[in-house]
Amino acid sequence: MRTLRPRPLPGNPGAGVAVGVAAALVLGACGVGGVSGTPGDDGLGDPYFPRAGNGGYDVTHYALTLAYTPADRHLTGSATLTARATQDLSALNLDLAGLDVESVTVDRRAARWNRAGHELTVRPRDDLDEGTVFRLTVRYQGTPVTLTDPDGSEEGWLPTEDGALALGQPTGSMTWFPGNHHPADKASYDITVTVPRGLTAVSNGELTRGPTTRGDRTTYAWRATEPMSSHAATVAIGRYDIGRAVAGGGLPVYTAVDPDQADAGRDVLSRIPDVLAWAERNFGPYPFSSAGAIVERPDDAGYALETQNRPVFPGAPDTALLVHELAHQWYGNSVTPRTWRDMWLSEGFATYAEWLWREDHGGETAQQTFDALHTAGSASSGTGTDDAEDLWSFPPADPPDAAHISGRPVYDRAAMTLHRIRQALGDDTAFRALLRDWAAARRYGNADTQDFTTWVERRYPATDFAPIWRDWLYGDGRPDDQ
């Protein structure tokens, strides 16, 4: 979930980045080692964030070792990427915003590097042949920055009342570690964070070691084993009430709640095992090794985010928002949009999960929710988004620009599209099987709109879905049919 908040658009972020292309080319041209490699691209060509991520390599693991002091907002970091070259490489780029780079090594040998905009270009001493697995380590420090997105919301490193919170959708993770910051390159993570004694550092996955206190510093070591897009990575530093529970199948549930929100959050967070049990019946096995939540104060983050294993909430959530963010663990985190154009595959499913939850718990049926939206059109559905953007202002599979990837049609109209599929199937059992089987088919991977529509058509060849794709996914304006 992201909310759209009306703020002025920032300046053109592409201006500084173009220099990165030139820098990579210059480095490649003056190579004296292997002659066959060429520089990896400085972006993955995302339709809305073309410089996000980088070409020429695939990261399989990040080992991040961080130390943060809230009093002076100083971060010291070491990031070791284990990656495989997907072409013969003379140079490669990482995405990094702000911070000072102190050294870069590739397979423990010092590498040349330079920076331009959000691109950190690294030239290994020797070219990396296609297929080579290499380890690249960047040591860095400084005061991490907060980014303002095209839609006006803030992400990246957000200082809080008692620490800091890292949120990375769509590009903010480049403010606290260098990496291949695009959803198309998922990896496992070890995130070790040292903070002043008395504070807690929470991240994705499971606590593998610690907390270990030496002197006035305490270290927390977290490990996210299943593949994760960097936008779903988080670190939350502060004072928290820690809760531990066990959900079905022995799944550990770890919650970290700002003491200010502890009373308000107690009942709803105690429902996490129930929500997960319901979700497993509808969406299939929970995809990750642990679950939980991070609850900050309402002013610390302007929106909730489905950070992997452990979504972040700005204040205690209501049940609908909890259902939404937990559903994202299947749709968004396990099955991840291939590009930022495909966000509806994440938000549409999470929104529809809210509809299904209501239907299954004595509330209005999904049909009633659909009908109300189709009739009113511009009324807010409540938890989907809080903006007043018209439901019919653009098609969910084709947002007009980067400022609209979290716009209302990506939530509500996309959920309506799923309901149209349910209507077309005419069989509730078949529809719920579709939800489960789609999560299984693309588990831990990526998918774009065409992957989904093709999969649905093959799965149910007797049904003609073309009008639904045409009118509900790609069409302008309000479809008349229902």
Interface contacts to Zn ion, rule CB under 5 A: 1, 347, 350
Nearer to Zn ion by Cβ, of 95 and 354: the residue is 354
Nearer to Zn ion by Cβ, of 111 and 316: the residue is 316
Query: How many degrees, rounded to 5, is the angle at CA 351 between CA 349 and CA 355?
Result: 105
Nearer to Zn ion by Cβ, of 218 and 329: the residue is 329
Closest distance of CB 89 from Zn ion, Å: 36
Is it true that the peptide bond before 211 is cis, omega within 30 degrees of 0? yes
Closest distance of CB 111 from Zn ion, Å: 38
Closest distance of CB 1 from Zn ion, Å: 3
The residue whose Cβ lies closest to Zn ion is 1
Closest distance of CB 450 from Zn ion, Å: 22
Closest distance of CB 3 from Zn ion, Å: 10
Nearer to Zn ion by Cβ, of 162 and 325: the residue is 325
Residue-wise DSSP of 392-411:
TSS-TTS-SSGGGTTSHIII
Tokens representing 358 are 């209501």
Backbone φ and ψ for 268, nearest 5 degrees, come out as -65, -40
Backbone φ and ψ for 321, nearest 5 degrees, come out as -70, -35
Distance CA 340, CA 19 (A): 23
Nearer to Zn ion by Cβ, of 83 and 373: the residue is 373
Hunting for tokens 């985010």 — which residue is that?
A: 305
Nearer to Zn ion by Cβ, of 218 and 229: the residue is 229
Closest distance of CB 183 from Zn ion, Å: 14
Cβ atoms 336, 326 nearer than 8 A: no
Distance CA 425, CA 422 (A): 5
Distance CA 147, CA 175 (A): 8
Sheet holding 109-110, edge to edge: 109-110, 100-106, 133-142, 74-85, 57-69, 187-196, 217-228, 206-214
